[in-house]
Structure 1
């Protein structure tokens, strides 16, 4: 059921008094008052063309606020910019940031801090109203890809809001990545306005992604967002039986699920070695497995991954430093590239020497040979990197 059917004008007024607005069946928290014609004209004057109808419709409902849903992929969208907001920049500040020649074609209207921004195309023509994003790249070792990214996101602002969803029911318990603020705002309203709160709760629950139902119905393989979520959940939990079931249902177990990570990468991130070994038997790609899982793999699994073509990078070696088995670090250190990642490798040296000293001290106190081996490997790797830096 949609908002037009659920909510009447009185319901919307009550929700608005609690700081909640509804646009395209999604809730906006800390909703700001609707935009007026004077401000609309001022914003339009800064743009390359007319403001798209869907953006104006959003602003007529709420000219700014907070978003507590998730977009598909890694793009974060938590704020609708407005004049005078207390974010990194307000709406005018972001417009000034983008206006290199006086006007902007792509109008920034929301995003996440300074890392992710969402824009609408204001240039008259076939692309008018299209939503695009820009995302700042993170430093090496934080993600698999490097550099800033930009791409199309939705046909218009209404379609963008239609993509907002929740991976978990906020009222079902657990540590959901989004939706807790929605839940809390509705629960607070329920004390005085239980009927309106119940309607808003139904709207929120209507945005929860139900991959279980799609799997049971046999439609999961044809629904990319649900399919990726199912693979992510199964791999994170190390549920090999579920992974096999997903494969049998037509899901590609080698598909990138999030941030370029595949199911085997996610299993290793979470230390689910049995699931990773099971996926290895399905001949899935292993390129990034040691970058994500060097902290958790056994030496035997590390050898298997290396034989299959797993890439060793400085950040993979950095992960292996945290592995309890010094043999894993020794294996990866022997495969570390001698060029191309010199700065990242050299950055490891102080940490290696500190950890080597700590391991040696622990070995002296306990007589633990494994800890003594760890100290030796750490010291040898630090010496090797230092020697390479000086050559």
Structure 2
């Protein structure tokens, strides 16, 4: 595998191998594998879609649809949105009667309704044609109007609830100059034949199933597909070994994320020596420190703090896991505390962390909404203390009583009725 995916790898499958792929509902486009591949579009449907658009359909889109008129993708994709590297879920290629959240016609009608609401004098033809995405959360569009943006690919991403990502609110941005370029950006962060529960496992399973066929041509096709898919794996290790990692943003971010999540201090030190900045954001606004706390990777935390990695968001991701000493350290260094942080801390085994973080914020209406949960948890802890006392486990019972008392104290602090 190379450090950067080989997007020029030729499609070396024979005509018979392509027919076998079609029978297995697989297709190749621009060096990327499409699962649940649908039959190619016919001229009548192509004309019907074109009638809904502001200009002629771009050639790369026609080429995709002549290969497969819809299907599913199983690659990693990220984009620069609002100055951050944001992962995108581009898993669906829309087609009629897909049984998805909407099919292709449903998404076209949806976009038309929005356009009509926004521009009363709208022409009735879409400038941005929705061609794929993920359920109702993310969509990918091809620009169909004549001009410098013709054929370009844009995306829209719905803002997620607080706690799902650090930046809320809808986002839009340019993905690629055309559809071929977009498919070239579809990569795999990890090799699905080497790592369990990784993006690409659906492709791995489909290819392995094809390789178990009694037909030697099917096995030959599977071997070629495996090479084609593995050529898209981002190999940051090779880039680290040859000294090019620091110059390749996606690879160095992937390496920093891996070191943080694996609790690997030695690797972090090696990455820093190679010119990587451990304070760099590595996706959706997260730093390596945030990733480490999410994974309870506490061995790397002191090293990251020594290298001045920002802590602003750290308690949003780690309040459920930090101990009291680390919580104090993060607060002293400027970590933000709000209702999300206190709510996450309720899952922390050390109730003193909850008490500390609750004292770091001023009560308000948002925090008052935690009161019912706090009182419920306090009552549960008190009940557990009584049961443990009956079982003659005095030490455990005392811990539960302390937890109940602390949670009640926090509930009283946040409860406007109690304070009055």
1:386 paired residue number: 415
Among 242, 257, 262, the alignment partner of 1:217 is 242
Q: Distance in 1 between matches of 2:418 and 2:18?
A: 65
Q: Does the Cα contact within 8 Å between 2:257 and 2:282 map onto a contact in 1?
A: yes
Q: Distance in 2 between matches of 1:238 and 1:244?
A: 12
1:32 paired residue number: 38
Q: How much has 1:256 moved relative to structure 2?
A: 1.2
Q: Distance in 1 between matches of 2:333 and 2:146?
A: 51
Moved more, 157-166 or 96-105: 96-105
Instruction: Describe how 1:80-91 pairs up with structure 2 within 5 A.
Output: 80-91=93-104
1:287 paired residue number: 312
Q: Distance in 2 between matches of 1:337 and 1:282?
A: 31
1:265 paired residue number: 290
Q: Does the Cα contact within 8 Å between 1:130 and 1:157 map onto a contact in 2?
A: yes
Q: Does the Cα contact within 8 Å between 2:13 and 2:224 map onto a contact in 1?
A: yes
2:204 paired residue number: 183
Q: How much has 1:361 moved relative to structure 2?
A: 2.2
2:82 paired residue number: none
Unaligned runs of 5+ in 2: 1-5, 79-85, 116-121
2:178 paired residue number: 156
Q: Distance in 1 between matches of 2:373 and 2:178?
A: 48
Q: How much has 1:389 moved relative to structure 2?
A: 9.3
Moved more, 68-77 or 82-91: 68-77
2:353 is paired with a residue of what secondary structure?
helix
Q: Distance in 2 between matches of 1:83 and 1:5?
A: 28
Q: Distance in 2 between matches of 1:389 and 1:92?
A: 55
Q: How much has 1:195 moved relative to structure 2?
A: 0.7
Q: Distance in 1 between matches of 2:280 and 2:201?
A: 29
CA-atom RMSD, angstroms? 1.6
2:83 paired residue number: none
Q: Distance in 2 between matches of 1:333 and 1:186?
A: 52
- The normalised TM-score by structure 2 is 0.89
**Relative to 1, partners in 2 of residues 1:78 and 1:147: Cα closer, same or farther, differing over 3 Å?**
same
Q: Does the Cα contact within 8 Å between 1:317 and 1:336 map onto a contact in 2?
A: no
Q: How much has 1:285 moved relative to structure 2?
A: 0.7
Q: How much has 1:28 moved relative to structure 2?
A: 0.4
1:7 paired residue number: 13
2:266 paired residue number: 241
Aligned length: 387
Q: Distance in 2 between matches of 1:18 and 1:361?
A: 57
Q: Distance in 2 between matches of 1:226 and 1:3?
A: 20
Structure of higher RCO (CA pairs closer than 8 Å, 6+ residues apart): 2
2:259 is paired with a residue of what secondary structure?
helix
Q: How much has 1:4 moved relative to structure 2?
A: 3.4
Are 1:79 and 2:108 counterparts? no
Give CA-to-partner distance per residue, 1:253-274, whole Å, 9 cap, x none: 1111122111000101111122
**Relative to 1, partners in 2 of residues 1:388 and 1:63: Cα closer, same or farther, differing over 3 Å?**
farther
Among 187, 192, 196, the alignment partner of 1:174 is 196
Q: Distance in 1 between matches of 2:292 and 2:16?
A: 49
